[in-house]
């Protein structure tokens, strides 16, 4: 009985182990690739699955979640021979695990290299300015270039994004110097335009002042003419109006001379009226 019990225990343990080997519970978000005697047999979906014990074997456990692949930075030469640094990130999803594990040795390594190669090719056909300002265009071309290739591996490219695309350190220095020179040129042009406008405004001001001075002289002359006419009508002689006006101007000039800071002494003639008459008489004789 002792040997029989041992055999029964061994048989029960073997049955339990066999059942355990034949039952597979796949967690959500994964698919398992099963090989039968070394050859692909089936893909187990999430949930409870049964396989043939000792014959079938779970060889690969593949995630069905989106995978984020970081594409390393690399130097890329544009069409105008400028070196820029570019990197990207790709979002992929495995829809056929059997193709992903049997179609390529390392699908992540393959996709990274495929993205880098396509990125160099796309940017190499663009000028620097276009490459720096056309991320959406580069993204569209990149997605179109690699989607068909990775579909053969049972992988779908959800999207690919350009993370950074910058000129090299040497090129950045050159661009900064160019930008500084351009700003200096614009400042010089703006300063010259300002000086030109200021000179024009100043000249316009002088012209306007001269015009107004001339108009004032005309008005004063007309006023003097009218004054002479009125005084002549009042006094009835030809000499007295002129003597009166000249005397008035003479007194005004003497007053201004006396008020000047440089004036030390003002000498007034004893007979201003005779002096003015003398001056008028000389002018009339001439």
Q: Over the stretch 11-53, which tens digit does the pLDDT of each residue have?
A: 888 877 787 888 889 999 999 999 998 899 999 999 998 888 8
Tell me: do 161 and 205 sit in the same domain: no
Tell me: do 166 and 94 sit in the same domain: yes
Cβ-Cβ contacts under 8 Å for 184 (sequence gap 6 or more): none
Tell me: do 121 and 210 sit in the same domain: no
Taking residues 193-199, report their average pLDDT.
82
Q: Which of 63, 84, 102 is the last residue of a domain?
A: 63
**pTM of the shown model:** 0.57
For residue 172, the model assigns a pLDDT of 63
Q: Which of 33, 63, 93 is the last residue of a domain?
A: 63
In a domain, 271, yes or no: yes
Quote the CA–CA distance of 109 and 100 in Å, as a whole number: 12
Tell me: do 211 and 246 sit in the same domain: no
Cβ-Cβ contacts under 8 Å for 99 (sequence gap 6 or more): 152, 153, 154, 155
Residue 89 has pLDDT above 60, yes or no: yes
pLDDT in tens, 54-64: 888 899 999 99
Tell me: do 150 and 84 sit in the same domain: yes
Tell me: do 89 and 166 sit in the same domain: yes
Tell me: do 109 and 169 sit in the same domain: yes
CATH of the domain at 118: 3.30.479.30
For residue 286, the model assigns a pLDDT of 42
Number of domains in the chain: 4
For 40, phi then psi, to 5°, come to -60, 135
Higher confidence at residue 217 or residue 166? 166
Residue 161 has pLDDT above 80, yes or no: yes
Higher confidence at residue 172 or residue 10? 10
Higher confidence at residue 232 or residue 138? 138
In a domain, 77, yes or no: yes
Tell me: do 134 and 75 sit in the same domain: yes
In a domain, 141, yes or no: yes
Higher confidence at residue 108 or residue 201? 108
Q: Which of 63, 81, 114 is the last residue of a domain?
A: 63
In a domain, 186, yes or no: no
Taking residues 80-105, report their average pLDDT.
90
Higher confidence at residue 253 or residue 68? 68
Tell me: do 125 and 208 sit in the same domain: no
Write out the residue range of the structural domain in which residue 154 sits: 67-173
Share of the chain above pLDDT 90, in %: 22
In a domain, 183, yes or no: no
In a domain, 180, yes or no: no
In a domain, 58, yes or no: yes
In a domain, 187, yes or no: no
Tell me: do 279 and 219 sit in the same domain: no
């Amino acid at each position: 009985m002792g040997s029989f019990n041992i055999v029964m225990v061994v048989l029960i343990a073997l049955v339990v182990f066999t059942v355990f080997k034949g039952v597979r519970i796949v967690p959500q978000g994964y698919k398992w690739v099963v090989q039968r005697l070394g050859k692909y047999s089936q893909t187990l979906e999430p949930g409870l699955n049964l396989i043939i014990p000792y014959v079938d074997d779970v060889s690969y456990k593949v995630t069905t979640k989106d995978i984020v692949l970081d594409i390393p930075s690399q130097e890329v030469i544009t069409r105008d021979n400028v070196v820029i640094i570019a990197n990207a990130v790709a979002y992929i999803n495995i829809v056929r695990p059997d193709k992903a594990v049997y179609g390529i040795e390392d699908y992540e390594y393959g996709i990274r290299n495929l993205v880098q190669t396509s990125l160099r090719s796309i940017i190499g056909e663009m000028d620097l300015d276009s490459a720096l300002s056309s991320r959406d265009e580069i993204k569209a071309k990149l997605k179109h270039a690699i989607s068909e290739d990775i579909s053969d591996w049972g992988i779908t490219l959800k999207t690919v994004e350009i993370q950074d695309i910058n000129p090299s350190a040497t090129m950045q220095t050159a661009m900064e110097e160019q930008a500084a020179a351009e700003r200096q040129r614009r400042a010089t042009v703006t300063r010259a335009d300002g000086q030109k406008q200021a000179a024009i405004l100043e000249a316009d001001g002088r012209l306007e002042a001269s015009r107004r001075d001339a108009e004032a002289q005309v008005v004063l002359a007309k006023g003097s003419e009218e004054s002479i006419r009125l005084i002549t009508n009042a006094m009835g002689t030809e000499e007295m109006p002129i003597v009166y006006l000249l005397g008035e101007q003479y007194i005004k000039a003497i007053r201004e001379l006396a008020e000047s800071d440089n004036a030390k002494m003002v000498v007034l003639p004893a007979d201003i009226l005779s002096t003015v008459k003398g001056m008028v008489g000389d002018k009339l004789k001439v």
